[in-house]
Each structure stands twice: as C-alpha cells, then as structure tokens.
Structure 1
C-alpha cells in the first residue's frame, strides 16, 4: 500500500498542528484542505463533506441531547439522590463507598452516555465523599472514579456507540443491547477487586443505613432510577428512535429536576445549556474534521487497500481481532477516543466485514478498547481530569489504576473471543449475527 505525497503532506500537517496545540478537528480540516489543494481539487469539497455528513445523519442529534441530559442531572439534585440510594444499598460493606462508586456509575450510565460527564458530574461528589475524614487516599478515589466512568458508556445509552453506528452503518439499538452484558461484567469484576483490596488495605466500614429508611430513600430516588427504564422502554418498545429517546432523556431530566425536586433555577438552566453547547461544539468540530479527513482517506483508497493487504496475509478473524485490540489500546494511550472512532475504526471496518466478523460484536469490542484508552497512561484523558479534580499526583493515580486496568483488559479479551457475551442479548431481541466464513 503506497501513499501519495499529498496524503503524506496532509498527515504531516495534522501531526504538527496537533502537537502545537491546535484542536484535533481543526488540524484534520487543515490537513485535508492542503491535500485537496495539492491534488488540484476544489477545496470547497471540504465544506461540502462536512455539511453533508453533519446534516444528513439524524442520529448525530443524539450526541448533544445525551450531553444535555447529563448536564440537567448534574445541575439538579438527581446525582446526589442517586448516590444516597447507592450508599444505602452497598455502603454497609467493607470498602462500601468504593462499591457505591461502581454502583452509581452503572445507574448513571443509563442516563448520560458519556464517561467525561460521569467523571465530571457524580465523580466529583464521589471524590469528596471518599476522601473526607481521610477514609480513602485521594489517588485511590480518583483512580476508581476514572475506572467506573469508563464502564458507563459501555452500558446504554452510549455516545461512543452512536458514533460507531454512524461510521459502520450499524443498528444503534442492537449496539446498545450488545453493551449491557460486557458493561455489567466489567462492573462486577471491579467490585470483586474492591472486595480484595478493601481487606488488604483495611478500608473502613460505613455505618449501615437502617433498613427502615430504605423504602423512603428508594421513593425519593425513584424518579432518577426510572430514567434508564423510560429510555430503554422507548427504544426497545418501538415507541422512539434512539435519537428521540435522547430528547426524551433530556426533557425527563429537566422535568424531574425542576418540578419534582425543584432544584433547578433559571440561572442553572442557562448554565446547563451553555456547558452543553460548548461541549457539543467541541465534539462537533472533531466530527467535522473526521468527516472531511475520511473523504481524503477514501480518495486515497486506504480502507480497500488495507483490507486487501490484511486479507492477503491470510488472517483469520481471531488473529485480526487480536491485532485490532493491541492497535486500539496503543492508540488509546495517545489519541482522544472520538478521533479513533471517527478516523481509525472506519479504516478497519471493511476488513472486519470481509472476514465475517459481526459488526455489533466488533463495535462493542472497539468501544471497550477506546474507553480503556481513557485511563491508559500516559495520556488517558480521564487521568488528567481526575488529577485536576482530586489534586493527587498523576503517578499515584496511575499506580492505583493499574490493577483495575489489567483486570478490565482481561475482560476485554473475553468479550473478544467469546462473542456470545456481546451477542446473547441482541439475539433475544431478534438480532441475526453475521455468520463467520
């Protein structure tokens, strides 16, 4: 596979601009425009690809709507009530607050679809709860919060899976279902690790919440706990599309925060819209750059050439998936997850299809890889976020993250080599997996 000088120059410009601190989306747009210029093509094609890609994909609307839903939750008291309910359920065990951290991420996952929203929202409260009175070290609390935030987007709804559905032309509904079992298994594994670590480090046992208070706390948290139910029933009951479900999630979060809990004022509403708009603009610019650069990649015929080269190596599906896992884990250390999903994964999809790998299975494996990249040293984004939130040194956080990360990598390879862990639930809802050749 030979690359043209124009494409090599475009890659060079993208790399240099990114290292100089220019946002990745703008870097990709700049490199793509240079490519079109050197090839003598109309540079207005960049704008055309961007507009066609952004405005012809209905599912793209799900991204800002899920972000808005998470912001409405954080601006109200929904996250706080959820944490209190989780504490009542599992807080009574040794290392109970650490178990609460995992449980709240599982429930919060059914509402936001974003690891960053999880860490920046309920993660802040968990950091405070775990470290006050010196119960847990700041580095352990930060590491655990980062790890549990990773699990969130694997359980539906999931913004990364929405983006994968965009580039791989795969059903969002079946992708969401495919992430349920892997996400729950990963959460269970982390909880088992906490049980072991809690005994070796002698973590404290929290005062148990009296059982007589549990019904009242459940009733107070009931509107929060119903949000994932409303979301999933809308999608799988055939009432809403995933995009419409995202709108329902945002409206439901606003309704509960304003009318039920009366915790959102006009100023909070404005702030939520402002933060959501800024986050959406940042992601939108990245998607725009990826759409334009993917057009350049297509002109260069890279996906087909790469697919032909890999098939010529006579790879079997298992070997290919091993290579993909290693590649995505390495790239996760260096690149932002959305960039990998929108630029790297589309190049791998044709080969996966040619090898007969199911696209739902491949999508879940790819998303798990990319999520693990968020906590993989040296450039995992969640590590930087939790360093800022906790004030703990990066070195200490990485040391506490590594046992969890190694366990989750083992789980990743189980999902990779046992497709039924991903496909079992979608098949119950009528999905027909791709048969291996």
Structure 2
C-alpha cells in the first residue's frame, strides 16, 4: 500500500467527516492520489469514458428514476393506495398493513426507496395520522421501514449498480430479490400486527366487497408493470436497460392517456427533477469508477482476498462479518457509495470462497437498505422528516421494532441462500 493511497484515504475520510458530499470527497481524494503518484489527472477522463462505454446497463438508472417520478406525479399512486386499503385495511393495525403492502406494490415500479418514501409514503402517513389511531412517529417509522423494500423487489437501482461492479446478471439479481422482498414485507406486517394488538390500534372501516372489482380494475394497469418488466427480461424480448425504457414509457402512457393525470408542464418538471437525481447518482458513479481504478492499481482486492483465504475463513463466517461491517458503514454512508466503493473490495474473496455472487448481491443490497433507516445517518429518516415535518426524534423512537424485524430477515437470508436463489435457479441460473 503506497503513501499516495494512504493520502487518498485520509483525504476521503477527512472531507466526508467535514460534511462534504461524498461524491465530491471521492473525486478530490482520487485526484490527490493521481497527483501524488505522478499520474496525469487527465487519465480520470479516460477511466470515466471507458467505464461508461463498457456499462450500457447504467442507462437503466435514470430511466427507472423517471418511471418512479411519473408514477408519483400522476394519480397512479392514489389508485394503488385505494386498492391496498381495500385489501388489508380491515385488519387491526390495518393502515399499517396498507403502508407495507403499498410499498410492496410500488416497489415493482420505482426501484428506489427514496421515491417510495417521498411519494406514496407521504400520503399514507397523512391517512394514518388523520385516522387518530396512530402517532406521527409510528406512521413515519413504519413508512421508512417499508420503503426499504423498494429496491429489493425488481426493478432495483442498487442492483443495477451492483451488477456494474460485479459483472453479475441483472436479470438473475432481479429474480433473486423477489422472495427476500416479500419476506421483508411479511416480517414488517408481523411486527405491525404485534404492536397493533399490544397498543390496541383500531381497525379501519372495511371496504364493501362489491367495490373490489372496480378498485382492482382501476389499479390493474399499474399492477401490470412488474409483470411486463420481468417478462421482457426473461422472455428474451428486452435487455434490462431496454426494460427500464419500457417502464418509463409505460408509466408515461398510464399517466397521460389511460389515467389522464399528467400535464405537459408537470411532465417537464418531472424531467428536470429526474435529471437532477440522475446527476447526483452519476457523480457518485463517476467518482467510484476512478476510485475503483485506484484500488485495482494498488491491488487491494487481491491482497484482501488472499489474506482472508489464507486465514481459512468459513464462507458463512465471512458473510456474517462482511454484513456486520456493512451495517456499521450503513450508519454513516449512503447505499450507492457502499455498493460502488466498498463492496467491490470483497467480490474477489467471494469468488475464492465459493460464495454465489447473486446471493451476496441481494444480501448486500438488503443490508444497504437497512442502513437507510439506521440512526444516526439514516437518509430515509431525513427524507420523511423533510416531506412531513415530523420531528426526527419521534421517528427514531419508533423505528427500533421495525429495524429488528428487518435484521431478522437479513439473518435468514444470510443463513439460507435458497431463499434468494430458488427463483433464479428455477429459471435457469446455474449458481
């Protein structure tokens, strides 16, 4: 490990601690390394261009962001919410179940936890608080916890980023996330049911059965999006990137023609917002590409892999140790940074220990999503605080039960790889 690399790490950590956005901190630290090691700063341009030209799948990120923003902007979210209320609102703690179910449904359209929390999440929080049966903190906490499911059930922006750094099939990653996502939802529903009975939450007024067909038809076109995406990818009709374009176009058709809830002015605002979000992700990706070049130049992944293999670490012990590390890092770093900068260090070790990369990828993404609700950083907690003005202290006070439920789900995923791999293997995955 060279002095230039140590300088890079010190600058990166120092700038991050001082509060500089992580993308800028990575770029400044990377440029410092290139200068200290005697390399031209211009090489960073070549690294970026090579990375972009060789990673066509990255185009899926802005397309999924646009699809999610269109779904949030039109009346699609309202129709999905009405469908979920009719389905599970009648049970004790029903609006809590509605919250979780709506996240499960919306996850099949957005691929983003933040899009879930900021969009449909705000509506369900208002419904829960206005009902008079739930505290503001509880409504916000269950919304933050359920939003973590968004990037697990396909489509998934974090899984696209993981596929970029691991050279793993995005299609099999998407398939691998379906059962874990459903299991996370079941865990959260079980916790909500237990708390609801313990605190005596009232039931929501049942929706008459005669209204079910109309509500289902109303929400049906939106519910079709995950099926269209999965059929396109696994039926050989589209690549994952083309499927993202189909998702964005389908969302646009729903909002403008089918539901007629999106004006041209609003659509322009969506494009601007999506461009800003895509640029933010793009800066992190650009910095990560340069930093990964530096890490590879220093041969860090091979050194780490050889050191762990020489220690004769059992694959399960390795997985548990890495996930504990990712949980700690998730308290301070955002998911994109962990996936693009930290996880690539351990992929060679996974290969050497015989750990399936689809299993590792899904587990790592679930772990990163749990980090989104883990104090003190917990970006989803800040997002919900920003859109609802509910004090952060109230949200954190109620988040612990749901955090525990998600940690149990994560442990099961680590211990039982078949939970993740059953669907990919059923559709031809050889891992």
> Taking structure 2 as the reference length, what is the TM-score of the superposition?
0.98
**Over residues 401-436 of structure 1, what are the superposed CA-to-partner deviations in whole Å (9 max), with x where a residue is unaligned?**
111111211111111111111111101001011xxx
- Report the equivalent of 1:47: 45
Contact kept, 8 Å, 1:33 with 1:43, in 2: the verdict is yes
Q: Which of 234-243 and 342-351 deviates more?
A: 234-243
What secondary structure is seen at the aligned counterpart in 2 of 1:216?
helix
Tell me which of 380, 383, 386 is aligned to 1:385. 383
Contact kept, 8 Å, 1:384 with 1:394, in 2: the verdict is yes
- Report the equivalent of 1:336: 334
- Report the equivalent of 1:20: 18
How far has the Cα of 1:168 moved from its partner? Answer: 0.4
How far has the Cα of 1:51 moved from its partner? Answer: 1.7
Could you tell me how far apart the structure 2 residues matched to 1:388 and 1:39 are? 43
What secondary structure is seen at the aligned counterpart in 2 of 1:152?
coil
Could you tell me how far apart the structure 2 residues matched to 1:82 and 1:205 are? 20
Gaps of 5+ in 1: none
Could you tell me how far apart the structure 2 residues matched to 1:402 and 1:414 are? 19
Matched, 1:222 2:220: yes
How far has the Cα of 1:190 moved from its partner? Answer: 0.8
Tell me which of 56, 59, 81 is aligned to 1:58. 56
Could you tell me how far apart the structure 1 residues matched to 2:214 and 2:79 are? 12
- Report the equivalent of 1:11: 9
Matched, 1:162 2:160: yes
What secondary structure is seen at the aligned counterpart in 2 of 1:240?
coil
**Over residues 205-250 of structure 1, what are the superposed CA-to-partner deviations in whole Å (9 max), with x where a residue is unaligned?**
1111111011011111111111111111111111111111110000
Moved over 6 A (4+): none
What secondary structure is seen at the aligned counterpart in 2 of 1:111?
helix
Could you tell me how far apart the structure 2 residues matched to 1:243 and 1:77 are? 26
What secondary structure is seen at the aligned counterpart in 2 of 1:22?
coil
- Report the equivalent of 2:85: 87
Could you tell me how far apart the structure 1 residues matched to 2:49 and 2:22 are? 18
Could you tell me how far apart the structure 2 residues matched to 1:27 and 1:168 are? 23
Q: Trace 1:284-363 onto structure 2 (pairs within 5 A).
A: 284-363=282-361
Contact kept, 8 Å, 2:136 with 2:394, in 1: the verdict is no
What secondary structure is seen at the aligned counterpart in 1 of 2:409?
helix
How far has the Cα of 1:11 moved from its partner? Answer: 1.4
Could you tell me how far apart the structure 2 residues matched to 1:247 and 1:158 are? 14
Contact kept, 8 Å, 2:176 with 2:359, in 1: the verdict is yes
Could you tell me how far apart the structure 2 residues matched to 1:287 and 1:120 are? 23
Contact kept, 8 Å, 1:101 with 1:148, in 2: the verdict is yes
Contact kept, 8 Å, 1:170 with 1:360, in 2: the verdict is yes
How far has the Cα of 1:204 moved from its partner? Answer: 1.7
- Report the equivalent of 1:148: 146
Q: Which of 52-61 and 160-169 deviates more?
A: 52-61
Q: Which of 13-22 and 53-62 deviates more?
A: 13-22
What secondary structure is seen at the aligned counterpart in 2 of 1:375?
coil
- Report the equivalent of 2:125: 127
Could you tell me how far apart the structure 1 residues matched to 2:105 and 2:29 are? 41
Could you tell me how far apart the structure 1 residues matched to 2:365 and 2:250 are? 27
Gaps of 5+ in 2: none
> Taking structure 1 as the reference length, what is the TM-score of the superposition?
0.97
Could you tell me how far apart the structure 1 residues matched to 2:54 and 2:135 are? 48
How far has the Cα of 1:393 moved from its partner? Answer: 2.5
Contact kept, 8 Å, 1:77 with 1:261, in 2: the verdict is yes
**Over residues 95-118 of structure 1, what are the superposed CA-to-partner deviations in whole Å (9 max), with x where a residue is unaligned?**
111101111111111111000110
How far has the Cα of 1:133 moved from its partner? Answer: 4.1
**Over residues 389-409 of structure 1, what are the superposed CA-to-partner deviations in whole Å (9 max), with x where a residue is unaligned?**
332332221221111111211
Number of residue pairs matched by the alignment: 431
- Alignment RMSD, CA only? 1.0
What secondary structure is seen at the aligned counterpart in 2 of 1:315?
coil
How far has the Cα of 1:289 moved from its partner? Answer: 0.4
- Report the equivalent of 1:116: 114
Matched, 1:411 2:409: yes
Could you tell me how far apart the structure 2 residues matched to 1:19 and 1:332 are? 15
Contact kept, 8 Å, 1:110 with 1:156, in 2: the verdict is yes
Could you tell me how far apart the structure 1 residues matched to 2:350 and 2:95 are? 41
Could you tell me how far apart the structure 1 residues matched to 2:49 and 2:136 are? 45
Q: Trace 1:169-318 onto structure 2 (pairs within 5 A).
A: 169-318=167-316
How far has the Cα of 1:286 moved from its partner? Answer: 0.5
